[in-house]
Structure 1
Amino acid sequence: MVTIHVVAKKTGQTVAQNGNQVRLIDPSVITADIPPSQIQSIARDGNRLVVKLKTGEVVTIENFFGPDGAATSDFVIHDVASGSFWEAEYAASSGELTLVPIDSPDQLLDASAGALPWLPLAAMAAAGVGMGVAAGVSSSGGSSRGPVAHAETPGTPSAPGAFELLSNNMYGLVGKADPGTTVTLTRPDGSTVTTVTGDSGIWHFNPNPLADGEQGTVSGTDSNGSPVGPLGTGVTDVTPPADPTIEHNGAGELSGTAEPGSTITLTLPDGSTVTTVADGNGHWSFGPNPLADGESGTLIATDPSGNNSAPETTGPMNSTPPDESQLNVDQNNQHGLSGTGTPGDTIVVELPDGSTVTTIVDENGHWEFVPNPLPDGGTGTITEIDPNGNSTGGVTTGPSDQTPPDESQLTVDQNNGNGLGGTGTPGDTITVERPDGTTVTTIVDENGHWEISPNPLPDGSAG
């Protein structure tokens, strides 16, 4: 496995990563300890930078390229044996990557550092650096950077005399000071550790010398011997937030839960990102869904201290609404309101007063409300919502009829060898239970008469 270091440009924090697959959240400087002679190719693949080694190993850096095709991060090769560094420059016009010698990856965090001249691959080969650079996806326009300073890099040196704390989390204790300032952290037990501010104006302790919940004090001495600080670190938070969970991923919204107050970052397939914040109950949502039908994205939760959760995939977005032909009402009476739908979907009934009741379609495709939530004669509207949040249009229940049949109309006027018959309310169903518990049914005709022939009752018995 290749040794890889990832430093966020915004803060100078070293970002934790495992293995040869790196997923970037913010523009970063990535340094890989690889002998140049072992590199087979470096290429762009969509928003990824892919480095193939002659050993067969592959290093993949997700979100290296932005949605406009420009490289938003920097990739540096470190030859440990010689101590030299090479930066991979990307030209969007040709899709080619060219290695450029640099003094240190730290200069890529410094807005005042000018770009060094490009070194053609032919010169690399003459220098004994065996590598091939594969062309990736080309786009119009010039080089993604060209010979200009990294003016967009947030790691600008502090104003003279400034001494700041930037973050205190799982990625380290980080701040700003004049380059060359010696910074000392005093821990709760009185012990101290020191570091020196780099040319970028960033100082950092990584890993964080403070334990979760601890507080310390940082002070410094600048290059002229003048004291700066002290500053309190505040309470250390090195605990990552829980991974975000996903509740809906449909056309209406992408939503779920996370640590309250955490920032949810969604990385889209093109490498661009959108963010939202989990509310006080831990609920977050993007609406309408930024993902297209069938697309998947990656979610990361970042707590207020800057700790990141592990990435969580959204799964494919599904904008297909439930099959409305499966949504039916088969009972709306004194025994309840029920019907059919797609198993696992949610049934929402809006009552005449505007309130709603919900239930879930069971594995057999059946749903019911007992007792009936509708008033006698009232009509409701049914909406079916699938697990992705897609819904059908409203389906009416029809008027609820919870008045039992008029029992005075129910008579038996024949119970003999010719059959069993009588009167009832037209359209009603007559059910006769036999002595053995089985039943037979018939419908009262338009004249109010019903009949079952032959007689379902055995001679001498009652039903």
Structure 2
Amino acid sequence: MINIVALSKEKGSSYTTHSSTVTLDSASILKISVSREDIKSFSRVNNDLIIELNDNEKVTIKNFFTVGPNGQHSDLVLEDPHDGALWWLENPGTDAAKYTSVDSLAEVGSEAVANEHIGAWAMAGAALLGIGAMLLGSSHHGHSESNDSESGAGGDTTATGNNGADSETKDTTAPAAPSDIVISDNGLTVSGKAEAGSTVAVKDADGNTLASATVGSDGTFSVTLPAAQTNGQTLSVTATDAAGNISPAATITAPDTTAPAEPSGVQLSDDGLTVTGKGEAGSTVAIKDADGNTLASATVG
């Protein structure tokens, strides 16, 4: 199931969902964990955006094309689940659609400066979406450029605004890899330590994000998974800081407390010397007599 984060530009509210259908009640930024190569097509049905993947799964974003009372519109950002690259897709589902590579969601959210909810929007979404304090900095930077452009058209410019923007220093240092990673016995919680304020993401062996959480001020985190990992799965955990820098991945193996399914397709050869069938790969099958004595065993391919 695809991980989707929705952040309202107007209300400042945010939430994460794994549902294939998302209903927006206001103009929002949506970050979807899917690579560009996995998308088959975009289409517009009334005010809804339909995303069809190559595996025929469909994601429906209801009210995506509805324009808010302040002229706000929704934006779509794809986060590559393999390398964390962000792609802002402008005008999806139309002939004017185009991809733009962005370093962080701040570049997408900068247009929200003009509306009265920018304070709540920044505070509610910064930690969750990994843009932190840079959101306001980048937003003011974008606003400055807009003002300079308008002033230039009128023949009046302000050098101070440009100098202030040019003097900004971008954070390009990635956090250290999360440490002290622990999976609970029931396989539903991943906890550990990482850079305070960063966003940790727990992914499966295929790079799909299972869940995420914000690291507390004490440098600890606890992520609740949507499904128990109790069959020896390999999980990876990364931390993304406020500037969008992604840490190296820390890996951990989930506890294996799930019994294999019973062997199937079991057959005895005509000469009574060989038993064949199917079982969980890597498990050991044992052939026993009626009294429970093991006659022979083998490892499943």
Whether TM-score is above 0.5 comes out as: no
Task: Write 1 or 2 for the structure with the bigger share of helix.
Answer: 2
TM-score by length of 2: 0.38
TM-score, normalised via structure 1 length: 0.26
